[in-house]
Structure 1
Amino acid sequence: MSIKETILKDCFIIDPKVFKDKRGYFLESFNQESFQKATGLQIDFVQDNESFSTKGVLRGLHFQKGKYSQAKLIRVISGEILDVVVDIRPDSPTFLQHFSIKLSSNNKKQLFVPKHFAHGFLVLSETAIINYKCDEYYHKESESGIIYNDRHLNIDWLLESKDFILSEKDQKLPSCRELFSIKG
């Protein structure tokens, strides 16, 4: 398993070792000891989530506030997505910077998203199944988010926004300016 830090501190790309033969393949999707050794982070996942979406579905950018903030490990079981994270830690040198990566069932890469990051994804394939582990339980009263097309973030989602399919809730998320009192 290869674990590399992204341009955002504490956010890692995990590239598992895949063992293939005539029967198919095997991979270890997570090993707490290896992860801790490579990152210095102690993570205890408590909840697994799975989502099925069709091409153009954009989910995000979501996060939970305060003590309910979640670290996540994202992987694609089927299809391909553009996975996007935003550092929303005000004291971080990469505050309000984002990172994106294509995750797919073909490349088998995973993305570790630390606490206090916003997270979202756009489905690039006809359909996609996404699985993610969380280190904190979902807490409805703590949910929040940033609008996907925030001017300050200027995220390249790779597809035309006219083709996006968003929930009503995601269409009404606030901007960075509204959330973090940014000028301009």
Structure 2
Amino acid sequence: MKPLSSPLQQYWQTVVERLPEPLAEESLSAQAKSVLTFSDFVQDSISAHPEWLTELESQPPQADEWQHYVAWLQEALSNVSDEAGLMRELRLFRRRIMVRIAWAQTLALVTEESILQQLSYLAETLIVAARDWLYDACCREWGTPCNAQGEAQPLLILGMGKLGGGELNFSSDIDLIFCLAGTWLYAGWTPGTG
């Protein structure tokens, strides 16, 4: 890894001043210094969550780690008991994984194609986890949507644009349509009862 140029070394000094106490300049690797210099997003995130730096240094991002997103997120959501907790954990997970992706991109550890794949899969993982958690919560509160034959109907999600094409980038927004197939009623609820 090349040393930072003179202007970047000067900027690095302002970065050091903003880092939290536990992150002493001398304890940072050359890779960490580069990423923190080039990415304000990573810098802000590491300042808020210094423990993430230890994870990044000991377990650097890999091109295929998207395969673990579902399991990692399930673990993060395992103790969530309300919608506010769900939203908090989803945002925290999203930020943590995006820091890993930005770290890998800044250091050119993975290809640009892999970055797009990871961002798209991250979005899909978060959307499905949120849908599953909220669907279960709604079923507990209002009953399960069923078709005319009494079969439970899943909540479907249609991803539009870049999400459907697997081409999300760091600033992509997503358009979603949520729907239930066919005609349905909530089990335990009959029209006119509330």
**TM-score normalised by length of structure 2:** 0.24
**TM-score normalised by length of structure 1:** 0.25
- Which has more strand, going by share of residues? 1
Bigger relative contact order, structure 1 or 2, given CA contacts below 8 A and separation 6+? 1
Higher Rg of the two aligned structures: 2
- Which has more helix, going by share of residues? 2
